[in-house]
A and B are shown apart, each in its own frame.
Chain A
Amino acid sequence: MWLISTLIAKKINKVIKLLGRGSGFTFPGHVVLKIFPNILSSVRYPRGIILVSGTNGKTTTTKLITHLLESFGLGVVHNSTGANLLNGLVSTVLMGTNLMGKPLGNVAVLEVDEFALPLALKHLSPTALLLLNLSRDQLDRYGETDIILDKWKETVPGLSDTTILVCDSEQKEFHDIAEIFSGRTFYFDSDPTFLEKTKLHGTYNAKNVNAAVLTLTLLGYAQSGIEQGLEEFSVAYGRGEVITRENVDFQIFLAKNPASFNQNLDVLSSGKVAGKSILFVLNDNIPDGRDVSWIYDISPDKIKDACEGKEIYVSGTRALDMAVRLSYAGVNTRTENISENLSSSISRLYSDSRDASVTILPNYSAMLETREILIGRKIL
């Protein structure tokens, strides 16, 4: 089974890489699942499996945990491209396996889509399960957050009591989950002590960092090694990442739902971000959710504060919707700074911003597109 699955996965991945510029991380898993639906159930790692789920912060937190474990000399299997549905998990595991089914790493760190979590937990038995947060995201695809919470509650009693559950102490729904869980639950908060050792900003990142540190501490990793690892950590793609092209620094903050948008606006208002201009990019592609109503759940006061004194640009398939939303918050965009074409918006931003830094707030597919335009290749 392993030989065939791994061969299939690696072959398909190779073909996808040859044909396009994507990394081919979901389709191989999709094919293998058709043939071996229980492939994941036989996966074991000597140092266990760490699963991270929640609406926001999955990519940053798994990247940080991976980085910390690597700094302890471990080989980590990690879905770093963010392929976090069941097929992506299968692809990640298979690509990190030799042909005899032996994992190439000692430990797996996997981010899991919040809706896919119950299914993933049917197959994988995690050493630690991190629940970061739960807020509104892509409701036209997922339904209300209540539905996700109910599904999680149905799943949690089935978890092994040796699993360590790590949750945000401020999300009251997670205390209900801990109630019905037979194992031990540990909580993290937003204390900034560890955050300050990293290059990350914002309360939400304080929580991500604390979640990672708490998990590693619980799993027995030395505090001194963890702290050293924090200092050497660089941000995940599109999450505060800076891409320099010629003499302009483009700093990208993924803003894909009201919670992450508000948090990023706070970071922009804090004065820790250098950008003189802000480009908002709003797409309504399938991965983003086709309903853009959520932009009115962004705080108008935060929009106004973050945009104060900045030149504003708006782009994406729903650029006009974003421009209207900003205008109702009291932020006006020049007509010539509004374009549905992201390439031309970035060119314009670039030519207006010699020797400067600019900030880009894209939603999900817009972030991938922005990176592709700036770097010249796709990440996913």
Chain B
Amino acid sequence: MSKLIIAYFYPSYLNLYGDTGNVEILRERARRRGIDVEVVYIDPTVSLSSEAVKYFSIVFMGGGPDSGQKLMYEDLYKNKGPYLREYVEKGGISLFICGSYQLMGHYYKSADGTILNGLGIFDLYTEHFGNHKPRCIGNVTCEISEELRHDPVFNSVNKVGRTLVGFENHGGRTYLGNSLLPLGKIITGYGNNAEDASEGVLYKNSIGSYLHGPLLAKNPHLADYLIAKGLGMDSLPELDDTLIISAHTAAGNLKQ
């Protein structure tokens, strides 16, 4: 088995809501299967190249406080952006949560009308309506999009079912372009924009999502899908996920 290299972008800037747990979970689930894992921390002091990103098995980026996002934004936009685009477009495996999910879109429009340009890798935009619309906070259950559920790799690692569970907390509302598929369809919660029942995005082998929890904590099927895809494998040895599956099921019954 080859080595799993997780590129964790801006860990000290984008570190809200326990999202760092996603990296711990990927590492731990790989390690339990005897897979060699390395986490590479990418911050503004690290420079990337087309050659370097080829080695990444999975790219992960979380969400951060405004102060953290201000500090990494310029580096993301100028230095890392072009390589991330290349990585995603060529089918690299990546997961973007909350703030970084928004930054992968065309722009983020603040309540005062200010526009912050995103990388435009995902055909989507985000708008904050200020006090006119409430912040989207609460427990979430969504049904995973059929396209992902029927993916042979996902299918082979899925021992959980058709849902994803998590917790969302975002002021911005995200609208997907027509060509994009959502990650899931909301059963409980707000999702991307509280209007069209979509949650997150699927684009090539990349995923964007508003879900914290962290996302992979109680969604081991999604974690294993990322690991298998990252290693280029069709399936993975099974782990005992009895406890996690009970936690997933219990989360489905939580109030929004």
- Which of A291, A292, A321, A330 is most buried by chain B, counting CB atoms within 10 A of its CB? A291
Asked if A324 meets B217 with Cβ closer than 8 Å, knowing A144-B65, A293-B17, the reply is yes
Determine which of B19, B138, B139, B217 lies in contact with A328 in the assembled complex, contact meaning CB atoms within 8 Å: B217
A324 and B18 contact, CB distance less than 8 A: no
Decide yes or no whether B16 CB sits under 8 A from chain A: yes
Expressed in whole angstroms, the Cα–Cα distance for A127 and B18 within the complex equals 38
B17 and A146 contact, CB distance less than 8 A: no
Return chain A residues, CB-CB under 8 Å to B218: 321, 324
Decide yes or no whether B180 CB sits under 8 A from chain A: no
Chain A, interface SS category: helix
Decide yes or no whether B250 CB sits under 8 A from chain A: yes
Chain A to chain B contacts (Cβ below 8 Å), 13 pairs: A139-B17, A144-B16, A290-B139, A293-B167, A293-B212, A296-B21, A300-B24, A320-B246, A323-B247, A324-B217, A327-B244, A328-B25, A330-B28
A146 and B21 contact, CB distance less than 8 A: no
Decide yes or no whether A295 CB sits under 8 A from chain B: yes
Expressed in whole angstroms, the Cα–Cα distance for A139 and B167 within the complex equals 12
Asked if A328 meets B28 with Cβ closer than 8 Å, knowing A144-B66, A293-B17, A293-B21, the reply is yes
Asked if A296 meets B169 with Cβ closer than 8 Å, knowing A144-B65, A291-B212, A324-B243, the reply is no
Chain B, interface SS category: mixed
Number of interface residues of B (CB under 8 A): 29
- Closest B-chain residue to A321, C-beta based? B247
Decide yes or no whether B82 CB sits under 8 A from chain A: no
Return chain A residues, CB-CB under 8 Å to B213: 293
Asked if A297 meets B20 with Cβ closer than 8 Å, knowing A139-B169, A140-B169, A328-B28, the reply is yes
Q: Interface on B for A, CB 8 Å cutoff?
A: 15-21, 24-25, 28, 65-67, 137-139, 167, 169, 212-214, 217-218, 243-244, 246-247, 250-251
Decide yes or no whether A294 CB sits under 8 A from chain B: yes
Decide yes or no whether A145 CB sits under 8 A from chain B: yes
A327 and B243 contact, CB distance less than 8 A: yes
Q: How far is the CB of B189 from chain A (nearest CB, A)?
A: 12
- Which of A136, A140, A296, A321 is most buried by chain B, counting CB atoms within 10 A of its CB? A296
A296 and B137 contact, CB distance less than 8 A: no
- Closest B-chain residue to A284, C-beta based? B254
B16 and A320 contact, CB distance less than 8 A: no
Return chain B residues, CB-CB under 8 Å to A239: none
- Closest B-chain residue to A300, C-beta based? B24
Return chain B residues, CB-CB under 8 Å to A145: 65
The contact string, 1 if C-beta is below 8 Å from chain B, for chain A 311-347, is: 0000000001101110110100001001000000000
- Closest B-chain residue to A323, C-beta based? B243
Asked if A320 meets B243 with Cβ closer than 8 Å, knowing A144-B65, A146-B66, A293-B167, the reply is yes
Known A291-B212, A296-B214, A297-B20; 9 more pairs at CB < 8 Å: A293-B212, A294-B18, A323-B247, A324-B217, A324-B218, A325-B21, A327-B243, A328-B25, A330-B28
- Closest B-chain residue to A136, C-beta based? B16
Expressed in whole angstroms, the Cα–Cα distance for A324 and B167 within the complex equals 16
Expressed in whole angstroms, the Cα–Cα distance for A322 and B163 within the complex equals 21
The contact string, 1 if C-beta is below 8 Å from chain B, for chain A 280-293, is: 00000000001111
Expressed in whole angstroms, the Cα–Cα distance for A327 and B32 within the complex equals 12
A324 and B20 contact, CB distance less than 8 A: no
- Closest A-chain residue to B215, C-beta based? A293
Expressed in whole angstroms, the Cα–Cα distance for A292 and B169 within the complex equals 12
Return chain A residues, CB-CB under 8 Å to B251: 321
- Closest A-chain residue to B214, C-beta based? A296
Expressed in whole angstroms, the Cα–Cα distance for A296 and B16 within the complex equals 10
Return chain A residues, CB-CB under 8 Å to B16: 136, 139, 144
Expressed in whole angstroms, the Cα–Cα distance for A140 and B167 within the complex equals 10
- Closest A-chain residue to B22, C-beta based? A296
Expressed in whole angstroms, the Cα–Cα distance for A300 and B250 within the complex equals 24
Expressed in whole angstroms, the Cα–Cα distance for A75 and B218 within the complex equals 52
The contact string, 1 if C-beta is below 8 Å from chain B, for chain A 140-176, is: 1000111000000000000000000000000000000
- Which of B25, B65, B137, B251 is most buried by chain A, counting CB atoms within 10 A of its CB? B65
Expressed in whole angstroms, the Cα–Cα distance for A182 and B86 within the complex equals 52
Expressed in whole angstroms, the Cα–Cα distance for A60 and B24 within the complex equals 33
The contact string, 1 if C-beta is below 8 Å from chain B, for chain A 23-59, is: 0000000000000000000000000000000000000
Return chain A residues, CB-CB under 8 Å to B18: 293-297
A320 and B24 contact, CB distance less than 8 A: no
Return chain A residues, CB-CB under 8 Å to B212: 291, 293
Return chain B residues, CB-CB under 8 Å to A294: 17-18
Expressed in whole angstroms, the Cα–Cα distance for A136 and B64 within the complex equals 12
B247 and A328 contact, CB distance less than 8 A: no
A293 and B214 contact, CB distance less than 8 A: yes
Q: How far is the CB of A274 from chain B (nearest CB, A)?
A: 29
Asked if A296 meets B66 with Cβ closer than 8 Å, knowing A320-B246, A321-B247, the reply is no
Return chain A residues, CB-CB under 8 Å to B217: 293, 296, 321, 324-325, 328
Expressed in whole angstroms, the Cα–Cα distance for A139 and B137 within the complex equals 10
- Closest A-chain residue to B244, C-beta based? A324
Return chain A residues, CB-CB under 8 Å to B17: 139, 291, 293-294
B138 and A290 contact, CB distance less than 8 A: yes
Return chain B residues, CB-CB under 8 Å to A296: 18-21, 24, 214, 217
Return chain A residues, CB-CB under 8 Å to B139: 290
Determine which of A136, A140, A146, A324 lies in contact with B67 in the assembled complex, contact meaning CB atoms within 8 Å: A146
